[in-house]
Structure 1
Amino acid sequence: MTYRSILYITMFTGLIQAMGRLSHSGSGQLTLHYSTPTHPLLRDVALGDSIAVDGICLTVETLLPQGFVAAVSPETLARTTLGQLPEGSWVNLESSLRVGGKIGGHFVTGHVDGRGHLEAATQTDNAWMISFTVPDARVARYIVPKGSIAINGISLTVAECSPSGDWFSVAVIPVTYQETTLPYLQPGQAVNLEGDILGKYVEKLLQGRPNHGAADGEDLSLAFLAEHGY
């Protein structure tokens, strides 16, 4: 008999499907109540499913008539905004990507790198220009111009950023702004940030192979990657 092992990797796309209201149980659990009880997301949720809550991958432990309950570890509470959100806060929700599903945003793992803070949000004729500060250099290093960034689970493109990545802005179209929790953010409020996973792997390669040639003796460097379109 031949046995085959299948590796399941939970991924998201950063396209928010619904919003919910958060409540704390006081025992390391969070309860989410859907904003629209008849939303398709509610019909598809099953025990053990992974759902991104403000960009944080959580596992459904208990199903409710209009929501679900998930456990949250101390590490998650310390690294993300979940431990700071007051009772009844709105959060973004996205179910995990399924095989064959559309990838309209970018690959998001639901593993938050750290927090940033809203600086300002300004409405223009056809978009919202929103800027953030990023005090943690471990998060800022993955923020590059025109790169992908997940903000509270929302897949967005960096419009501008400082050389170090400790400040950046995004342009948000009206439909994204209106159908996510972005309108509820206040200046100075913390947000969850996840950098593009591709950048993390490139960084790992650069650190792990400093003297290995990319081709014909060339070093794998930032200059080499830029020259070849990365």
Structure 2
Amino acid sequence: MFTGIVEIVGVVSKLDIKDSSKSGGNGVSLTIKNAAKILEDCHIGDSIAVNGTCLTVTEFDEDSFKVGIAPETLKKTCLDQLLEGSKVNLERAMAIGFRFGGHFVQGHVDSTAKIISVKPDENSLWFEFNVLDESLMQYIVPKGFICIDGTSLTVCDVDYQKNTFNIMLIAHTQENTIMTSKAAEDLVNIEVDMLGKYVGSVVQGALSSDSSTISSTIKQLIDIAIDKKLESLDKK
């Protein structure tokens, strides 16, 4: 579990498509340097979020660490676009007893989104994104949470017809993440709010089940929502 508060920006020092080393196992591996700050308490098997993707440490030294990337992870993320020298957002898994500054982030990337535009607004930047998996739009709400390349951000506006949303990046976030290196047409990893997914799953399960098994509370909420929708249609 992560918070979406980026601890440090690291640099890709090696991307091995077929790593034949013992820890690589003939799979895809990624070695990241300039990461000393987050390696002081590191152990083999620890989780580190790389651009919002939870990956397992297989090797490390004082300044760098290596992680393996599964085929499914490559399909869901844009990690395959990283090159040697690419900068990446890094965050260690949450530790018990510390302040919780972001939101609940699993590091399980849902999909990618394409940057439509980047517009300055005084010392802030507005980013607009197109979500490539339209089924995720139901979990993206104005003033809700979203994790973009491992950064916990607040959604500003949403256009459900166009499958787009935007966020505003303050100066501090610009200086401490990789977002300012992104431009229109670039892809980013996104993870929608996990609490929204759980609530959506419960409601969908209730709607698809036999009405006699639906709890009274959920049934009441569904009935209220239907009544309000019918009222709005009548007014039109």
Match of 1:215 among 214, 217, 226: 217
Distance 1:217 1:74, change over 3 A: closer
Alignment of 1:177-188 (within 5 A): 177-188=174-185
- 1:172 positional shift: 1.2
Match of 1:119 among 116, 119, 136: 116
Unaligned 5+ runs, structure 1: 1-10
Secondary structure at the aligned position of 1:138 is classed as: helix
Deviation larger for 214-223 or 97-106: 214-223
Alignment of 1:55-70 (within 5 A): 55-70=52-67
Is residue 26 of structure 1 aligned with residue 23 of structure 2?
Answer: no
Number of the residue aligned with 1:5 = none
How far apart are the structure 1 equivalents of 2:218 and 2:152? 38
Deviation larger for 132-141 or 101-110: 132-141
**Larger Rg over CA atoms:** 2
Is residue 132 of structure 1 aligned with residue 134 of structure 2?
Answer: no
How far apart are the structure 2 equivalents of 1:197 and 1:17? 21
User: 8 Å contact 2:155–2:165 — kept in the other structure?
Assistant: yes
Number of the residue aligned with 1:72 = 69
Is residue 173 of structure 1 aligned with residue 163 of structure 2?
Answer: no
Letter aligned with residue 110 of structure 1: G
- 1:126 positional shift: 3.9
How far apart are the structure 2 equivalents of 1:139 and 1:217? 24
How far apart are the structure 2 equivalents of 1:217 and 1:87? 54
- Structure in which a larger fraction of residues adopt helix: 2
Distance 1:213 1:62, change over 3 A: same
Secondary structure at the aligned position of 1:44 is classed as: coil
How far apart are the structure 2 equivalents of 1:109 and 1:60? 16
User: 8 Å contact 1:53–1:92 — kept in the other structure?
Assistant: yes
- 1:219 positional shift: 4.3
- 1:165 positional shift: 6.9
CA RMSD, 1 decimal: 2.0
How far apart are the structure 1 equivalents of 2:93 and 2:162? 28
Distance 1:217 1:117, change over 3 A: closer
Secondary structure at the aligned position of 2:177 is classed as: coil
Letter aligned with residue 12 of structure 1: F
1:43-94 superposed Cα distances (whole Å, 9 cap, x missing partner): 1222111000000000111012311001110110111011122222111000
How far apart are the structure 2 equivalents of 1:222 and 1:181? 44
How many residues align? The count is 212
Number of the residue aligned with 2:6 = 16
User: 8 Å contact 1:118–1:186 — kept in the other structure?
Assistant: yes
How far apart are the structure 2 equivalents of 1:222 and 1:116? 34
Distance 1:139 1:219, change over 3 A: closer
Unaligned 5+ runs, structure 2: 19-27, 229-236
User: 8 Å contact 1:127–1:174 — kept in the other structure?
Assistant: yes
- 1:121 positional shift: 1.5
How far apart are the structure 2 equivalents of 1:192 and 1:63? 25
Alignment of 1:73-152 (within 5 A): 73-152=70-149
Q: TM-score, normalised by structure 2?
A: 0.84
How far apart are the structure 1 equivalents of 2:31 and 2:77? 17
Deviation larger for 155-164 or 209-218: 209-218
Secondary structure at the aligned position of 1:223 is classed as: helix
User: 8 Å contact 2:8–2:90 — kept in the other structure?
Assistant: yes
